């Protein structure tokens, strides 16, 4: 039997009871490690994080906490090779896939460390200027933001075991709020290893960072009124979480990032021989194949002018045909596996469902696997579907297949395209490809309220843009409706979730006394 990974709660390492749940290599099928949190005293773990970890973090200034994040960055950088090996074994991703997760995590932490340093010795954040409350100017209202005195519970998804932790932990720890992370079981090894290295380095105060590996039973029951929860996963699980009494009765804050039928829109001016068309094809293929399409921001629906449908199908299909799928340890492999055989089965079932309303433009089953046994490996080749009547193909706008799958959809006019995109019910991101700035700008304003982020790729941005699916710490990550209705990152806006806003109404002298202790975010 493989090693049982420990949990870190109450300031110490604690092994769960029983044999635990096994984690596997999705390419070879080998058992790697096991996880269990059975028997943990979760109420005590949460209390320790709130009382010990929270108090220690709040005793620090924003500048000191930013320096603390910088120290975490150095720890992670020192162990990067180990994280690469774990990610390859447990997630089945290529070297490029691992970089998106691991280096993305380190970059995000580093960005908050650098940006947070500018907040300096402050212990509170000012929210706008003081405003007078009457005709005379001696009595004013000043809104301030103070760190919550609870714990931040992260219930994370399987696709980003590194970035999923640190993109949330960076603004939480900078704010002064301790973190408890519950990684998805299938890929928990990398998260646990990162936490173990940071704990061993002693760069965080006791109770500032905890990890619970295994099931989620009892986690929500341990919540108290000043705690916050950030969940990433399916809309169905998010809906179940919302029903817990902690949110209904104690007003515990909840941020949900759920399913998202993200779109790519080729503008009417982008003919098949244009530079914008080439950028569009390249980005669609990249988003279908990076991390085997297992990204919440990946392109799922691809909208093109009706007259370019066949050209787009041919161009995208040709590039997909060249993708080598299989064992990520082989240098020839361009796309690795999904994280588990269960996930591969779910993706295949999703493809079968979409084929009831769409035609097969590129069959992922035609890809021979590189250095992998198809009877064992959780590999699914990139699959492009197409629906010539996107109005009638309702399932395309309702079902997200979380893998290397996208559907090509023609539109008759821009108004038609905008309406079809909105049928996704709210998304994390849409990308637009064209050369006419005015038309691109107008489309942005038509679509912005239905998305957390719009990524516009015009020829002048061809070598500059950061990628449709790459989540940058400077920009908002989240989306309305089906996407969960939550918000993460967005620069220092990301700190808002971990603070309580209060209006202080006082004489000018009192507000002047507060000013040296606060700064504007």
Q: What is the dihedral of CA 399, 401, 405, 411, to 10 degrees?
A: 10
Nearest Cα to Cα of residue 186 among 345, 22, 348: 22
Residue 114's CB: how many other CB atoms inside 10 A? Answer: 13
The contacts of residue 88 (CB under 8 Å, 6+ apart) are: 95, 98, 328, 329
Burial 181-209, CB ≥16 within 10 A → b, else e: bbbbbbbbbbbbbbbbbbbeeebbbbbbb
Placement of tokens 């719009």 in the chain:
454
124-126/518-520 β-pairing: parallel
User: ∠ at Cα 455 (449, 458), nearest 5°?
Assistant: 130
Residue 488 bridge partners (DSSP): 477
Residue 309's CB: how many other CB atoms inside 10 A? Answer: 18
Residue 265 bridge partners (DSSP): 303, 432
Instruction: Judge residue 279's burial from the number of C-beta atoms within 10 Å of its C-beta, 0-12 exposed, 13-18 middle, 19 or more buried.
Output: buried
DSSP code for 397: G
368 is catalytic: no
As a 3-state breakdown, the chain gives helix, strand, coil percent values, each rounded to 5, of: 40, 25, 35
Q: Is residue 440 a contact partner of residue 269, using CB atoms and an 8 Å limit?
A: no
Placement of tokens 């209202």 in the chain:
141
Task: Provide the 3-class DSSP secondary structure of residue 375.
Answer: coil
CA distances from 511 to 58, 211, 501, 520 (A): 21, 40, 16, 14
Catalytically annotated residue among 84, 296, 400, 487: 296
Tokens of 520: 């504007």
CA 444/CA 333 separation, integer angstroms:
37
How many helices (H) and strands (E) the chain has is answered by: 15, 26
499-507/139-147 β-pairing: antiparallel
296 is catalytic: yes
Q: Is residue 35 a contact partner of residue 21, using CB atoms and an 8 Å limit?
A: yes
Q: Is residue 80 a contact partner of residue 40, using CB atoms and an 8 Å limit?
A: no
Catalytically annotated residue among 84, 167, 226, 257: 257
Catalytic site residues? 257, 296
């Amino acid at each position: 039997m493989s090693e049982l990974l420990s949990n870190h709660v109450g300031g110490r390492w604690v092994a769960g009871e029983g044999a635990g749940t096994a984690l596997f290599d999705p390419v070879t099928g080998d058992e790697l490690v096991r996880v269990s949190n059975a028997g943990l005293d979760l109420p005590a773990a949460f209390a320790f994080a709130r009382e010990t970890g929270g108090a220690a973090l709040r005793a620090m200034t924003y500048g000191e906490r930013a320096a603390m994040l910088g120290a975490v960055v150095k720890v992670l950088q020192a162990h990067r090779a180990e994280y690469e090996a774990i990610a390859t074994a447990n997630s089945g991703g290529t070297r490029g896939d691992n970089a998106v997760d691991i280096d993305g995590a380190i970059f995000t932490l580093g960005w908050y460390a650098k940006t947070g340093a500018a907040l300096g010795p402050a212990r509170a954040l000012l929210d706008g200027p003081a405003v007078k409350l009457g005709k005379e100017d001696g009595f004013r209202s000043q809104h301030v933001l103070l760190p919550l005195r609870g714990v931040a519970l992260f219930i994370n998804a399987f696709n980003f075991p590194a970035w999923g932790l640190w993109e949330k932990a960076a603004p939480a720890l900078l704010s002064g709020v301790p973190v408890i992370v519950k990684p998805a079981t299938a890929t928990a090894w990398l998260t646990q290893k990162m936490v173990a290295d940071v704990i061993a380095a002693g760069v965080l105060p006791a109770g500032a960072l905890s990890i619970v590996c295994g099931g989620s039973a009892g986690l929500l029951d341990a919540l108290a009124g000043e705690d916050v929860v950030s969940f990433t996963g399916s809309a169905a699980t998010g809906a179940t979480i919302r029903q817990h009494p902690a949110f209904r009765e104690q007003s515990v804050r909840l941020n949900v990032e759920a399913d998202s039928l993200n779109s790519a829109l080729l503008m009417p001016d982008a003919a098949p021989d244009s530079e914008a068309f080439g950028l569009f094809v390249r980005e669609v293929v990249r988003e279908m194949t990076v991390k085997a399409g297992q990204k919440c921001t990946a392109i799922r629906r691809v909208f093109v002018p009706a007259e370019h449908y066949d050209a787009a199908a041919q161009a995208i299909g040709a590039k997909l045909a060249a993708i080598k799928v299989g064992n990520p340890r082989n240098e020839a492999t361009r796309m690795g596996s999904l994280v588990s055989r269960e996930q591969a089965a779910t993706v295949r079932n999703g493809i079968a469902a979409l084929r009831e309303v769409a035609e097969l433009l590129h069959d992922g089953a035609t890809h021979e696997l590189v250095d992998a046994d198809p009877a064992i490996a959780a590999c699914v080749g990139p699959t492009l579907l197409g629906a010539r009547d996107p109005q009638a193909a309702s399932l395309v706008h309702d079902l997200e297949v979380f893998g290397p799958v996208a559907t090509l959809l023609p539109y008759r006019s821009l108004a038609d395209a905008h309406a079809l995109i909105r049928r996704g019910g709210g998304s994390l991101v849409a990308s637009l490809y064209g050369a006419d700035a005015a038309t691109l700008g107008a489309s942005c304003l038509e679509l912005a309220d239905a998305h957390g982020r719009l990524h516009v790729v015009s020829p002048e941005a061809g070598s500059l843009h950061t990628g449709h699916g790459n989540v940058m710490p400077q920009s908002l990550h989240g989306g309305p409706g089906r996407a969960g209705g939550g918000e993460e990152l967005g620069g220092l806006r990301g700190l808002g979730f971990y603070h309580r806003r209060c209006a202080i109404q006082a004489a000018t002298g009192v507000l002047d006394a507060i000013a040296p202790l606060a700064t504007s975010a």
